[in-house]
Structure 1
Amino acid sequence: MDEISWREDGRDQRVRWRSESGAPPPRRVTIADDETRADDAYRLACEGTALLWRGDFQNARQLLNAMARRIDRPPTMARRRKRKEEPSQVQAFHLYRQARAQRARTLAMLLIPFDPGHVIPLRRAPDVQDACTQVYGPDDRPYVTSLRELLGLIGAHEWREKGVPIPALGNDRIHPHYGVFSPVRGEYVDLVAEAPLPPTTKAFDIGTGTGVLAAVLARRGMGRVVATDHDPRALACAQENLTRLDVAKQVEVVQADLFPEGRAGLIVCNPPWLPAKPSSPLEHAVYDPGGRMLHGFLNGLTEHLEPDGEGWLILSDLAELLGLRTRDDLLKLIESSGLEVAGRRDTKPTHPRAADPDDPLHAARAAETTTLWRLRPAR
């Protein structure tokens, strides 16, 4: 495991480094406390120097917020004048991702120490033992991690505890685990809840995540559902949710890259919608490098469908609106996979970003449509 080192009180220190995003330990570390000014912290973080916090925990949170405000300040008039023309949608997308990645790297430079047992040795520090144990497992040794990551763990723990209400499940709740995509954008769930079912009693849910679509299919009367995922966290999350929703007898959770063995009359897949490289393990639910999962699902669909079966592909057109893929690209991929479109259902997203004019990708988000493509082997 990686280690982080620094000098404090005239002595060299070394301890384990934790990062769920896979970030390497910072090379330069300085000590920060309640006297550290936000401008100084921001400057050091931008230069690549991490700040190991020794003050009050709540003051560390305030400092992190102050650093974020400095990052998020709108550009000055001089910087605006330097822009000769507005970027295209695809350029805006890449600029947006670069800015978000730089923002994440800068804010990750504020570090928090941990004693054995996931205990934070700082004044007014919260009890985070349960949240950390859920993600890291038990730990009897000290370590250091970023405050930003810790706050993500705390937020994920709260979502896992209270759950996300799903109208398609009668407002029963799905409880997402850390690192598993939360079904907060419910329009794709509603599409699966409302599309007419083919005449079958067996379905596959490819890339099940929290298990929400498998649960919807089971509640709609599907006699047997096989839900697959390759991520151990997703598999554990899905199994827990399906058990809580009392559909575990109908749904089998299987570890697989894509398809399980055999065939089914209905195969559902909601792949990551954007064909771009994720910048951290937690982004794999949103970004699919080269459209690998989309291609794999379409290319393998015919050999796993029963006669007269259907494949349901749930896909946003955000990638098309951003210039990352064209509609013609998608239709050609469907055709080259030996498939034809039997029908489609469209819906508009209702999440807050779609109505936020200050979002750099507002034009694309406001025009976005999510579609359930009903596919079958070409005849």
Structure 2
Amino acid sequence: MTTPYPTLTWPAADGPETARWRSEAAVLPPKRVVLTDDRTTADTAFRLASEGTALLWNGDYQNARQLLQAITRRIERKPPKQAATAKDAFNLHRQAQAQRARTLGMVLIPLTGDYTIPLRRAPEAAQACIEAWGAADGEASVVSLRELLGLIGAHEWRKKGVEIPALGERIHPYYGVFSPVRGEYVDLVARMVLPSLEKAFDIGTGTGVLAALLAKRGVKKIVATDQDPRALACAQENMTRLGYDRQVRVVQADLFPEGLAPLIICNPPWVPARPSSPIEHAVFDPDSRMLLGFLGGLAAHLQPGGEGWLILSDFAEHLGLRTRAMLLDAIKAAGLEVAGREDIRPRHPKSSDPSDPLHVARLAEVTSLWRLKAR
């Protein structure tokens, strides 16, 4: 009988051992695995990881973290390839990111059946694992240290929350749900004149931050949609915590809920490229599926005289992945017209980091709120 999940096998003194393989990005388990511990040097680890050999750690947990940092430094020593165009720079950057993720993902950590890390000086990670994977099933497993650190970091985000100045509250993101750390798009929604206080749809709500902001601004009834179960649970918890659960109804839907609204808001992924992990679905939108889906269905869901607010960065335009003409043509083809636009410059650290390979595009980036109406 085959198992319902992938497994990892590695050599041991008493014969091969096997455990459940965990990967949020559905990365296949490594074919070559060696047992390693505190005696393994960074140079050896880097060479093995670069060749595609995984290192199952059997030493001190904190030493494993230091080893991962040492491998990271060795990766960063390699100068980036020069690109002729912004699009080439983006593609090379994505390739480098993928290679980096593959190499760093080769340092593996064992977990017992109750999500305990059976290593010296290991932290308590059970709650972080439960939030990401669900209740423990008693079965031992193996996960990359890089992914485990991501789980633990997400758990801290969820506990502490993210301060949203425009909201005057904290939003608590779940693991796998994009954190609203870029606040400029929230500020755009906070300062725009609302066309109505009666009803609004928030399409692709994620953490629910924009639905909460609309509720704070006095919109009486809001329907917030998403397809991802984690996002739906996250948004619902945030609405309850903030006291907006009577105003905001969170529903599972592919874009639009049933009915019409005088205000429909959407902040789709900004870059038309393929995501390499679930969390990247908030940034990368293959073939602009969500953007075009929102535009294509907007007119049919707007009340007469209503507005659709499209929040979109022009980052993809500066990368050569989309043109302004393509966006305007899509708006026109959907039977819509532009009633107005409000722009804001990004404030995130990468926009002022000249060492970033996409610095030129980031420096030119503008995020816009497009006010759209049915023609």
> TM-score w.r.t. structure 2 length?
0.97
- Paired with 2:279 and 2:8, the residues of 1 have a C-alpha distance of 22
Secondary structure of the corresponding residue to residue 218 of structure 1: helix
Residue 322 of structure 1 is matched in structure 2 by: 319
Contact conserved, 1:3 with 1:15, CA < 8 A, in 2? yes
The answer on 1:151 being equivalent to 2:155 is no
Q: 2:224 is matched by which residue type in structure 1?
A: A
**CA RMSD between the two structures:** 1.0
Alignment gaps of 5+ in structure 2: none
Q: CA deviation at 1:10?
A: 4.2
Residue 340 of structure 1 is matched in structure 2 by: 337
Question: 1:105-254, aligned counterparts within 5 Å?
Answer: 105-139=102-136, 140-170=138-168, 172-254=169-251
- Paired with 1:115 and 1:260, the residues of 2 have a C-alpha distance of 42
Alignment gaps of 5+ in structure 1: none
- Paired with 1:45 and 1:74, the residues of 2 have a C-alpha distance of 15
What is the aligned counterpart of 2:62 among 58, 61, 66?
58
Secondary structure of the corresponding residue to residue 9 of structure 2: strand
Secondary structure of the corresponding residue to residue 166 of structure 2: helix
Q: 1:194 is matched by which residue type in structure 2?
A: R
Q: 2:163 is matched by which residue type in structure 1?
A: P
Question: 1:292-331, aligned counterparts within 5 Å?
Answer: 292-331=289-328
Q: CA deviation at 1:200?
A: 4.5
Q: 1:66 is matched by which residue type in structure 2?
A: A
1:169-219 deviation line (CA, Å, top 9, x unaligned): 12x100000000100000000101111110341000000000000000011
How many residue pairs were aligned?
A: 370
> TM-score w.r.t. structure 1 length?
0.96
1:40-59 deviation line (CA, Å, top 9, x unaligned): 11111111100000000000
1:254-300 deviation line (CA, Å, top 9, x unaligned): 00010000000000000000000111222111000000000000000
Q: 2:317 is matched by which residue type in structure 1?
A: E
Contact conserved, 2:197 with 2:218, CA < 8 A, in 1? no
Q: CA deviation at 1:253?
A: 0.2
What is the aligned counterpart of 1:68 among 52, 66, 72?
72
Contact conserved, 1:22 with 1:281, CA < 8 A, in 2? no
Q: 1:250 is matched by which residue type in structure 2?
A: Q
Q: 1:19 is matched by which residue type in structure 2?
A: S
- Paired with 1:295 and 1:72, the residues of 2 have a C-alpha distance of 37
Change (3 A) 1:199 1:115: closer
- Paired with 1:122 and 1:218, the residues of 2 have a C-alpha distance of 47
The answer on 1:89 being equivalent to 2:93 is no
Question: 1:15-54, aligned counterparts within 5 Å?
Answer: 15-54=19-58
Secondary structure of the corresponding residue to residue 214 of structure 2: helix
Contact conserved, 2:196 with 2:219, CA < 8 A, in 1? no
Residue 101 of structure 2 is matched in structure 1 by: 104
Question: 1:259-274, aligned counterparts within 5 Å?
Answer: 259-274=256-271
